[in-house]
Copies of this chain bind each other. A is one copy, B any other.
Amino acid sequence: MNLSPPYRPQDSGISREGSLLRMTPQRQEVYRMLLAKRDHPSANEVFMRVRGRLPNISLATVYNCLEALVEHGLVKQVNFERGSSRYCPNLEAHGHFHDASRGVIVDVKFKPGMTLADVLELPEGAVIQDVEINLRGQLGLA
């Protein structure tokens, strides 16, 4: 998979879910930025970062790209309370810890072999499509 511009049709087809995702220059750059700095940026933050390489990109296009990446399973959308959505390229099952006083969100791993089903009484016969675990608080000193 080639993520460098210029865009060439043969770059298309990145996806982890149903249909293929056409990897346009805009989507490439948005995805690249998410991989480069994994600090859970908002759409607007992605917009500002991406403008360095694509000065003509619009915020609406950033939203479109993020939506496409999320729909194709390359990126996770993270929502804390009613704040703006944030985006995370970590595809492993994990939660998020938000320290508002430091203004950071960090990934929280599962203990090896553990899942939510080990602690929750899931409804009988339920099919789970997606799980979201959000913690709020203060990180330790380190």
In the assembled complex, which residues on chain B have CB atoms less than 8 Å from the CB atom of A142? Answer: 124-125
Assess the B110–A126 pair: CB atoms within 8 A. Answer: no
Asked whether any CB of chain B lies closer than 8 Å to the CB of A129, the reply is yes
Among the stretches A8-16, A49-57, A131-139, the one at the interface with B is: A131-139
Assess the B134–A128 pair: CB atoms within 8 A. Answer: no
Assess the B95–A124 pair: CB atoms within 8 A. Answer: no
Residue of B whose beta carbon sits closest to that of A140: B125
Assess the B116–A133 pair: CB atoms within 8 A. Answer: yes
Interface residues of A in 85-142 (CB under 8 A from B): 85, 95, 97, 99, 106, 108-111, 114-116, 118-142
Give bound CA distance, A108 to B116, whole Å.
11
> Which of B85, B95, B130, B136 is within 8 Å of A120, CB to CB?
B95
Assess the B114–A126 pair: CB atoms within 8 A. Answer: no
Give bound CA distance, A95 to B130, whole Å.
13
**Mask for A69-84, Cβ within 8 A of B = 1, else 0?**
0000000010101100
29 pairs, A vs B, C-beta closer than 8 Å: A79-B79, A79-B81, A95-B116, A95-B120, A97-B122, A99-B126, A106-B123, A108-B121, A110-B119, A111-B118, A111-B119, A115-B119, A118-B118, A118-B119, A123-B140, A124-B140, A125-B140, A126-B137, A126-B138, A126-B139, A127-B140, A128-B136, A129-B137, A129-B138, A130-B137, A131-B133, A132-B132, A132-B133, A134-B134
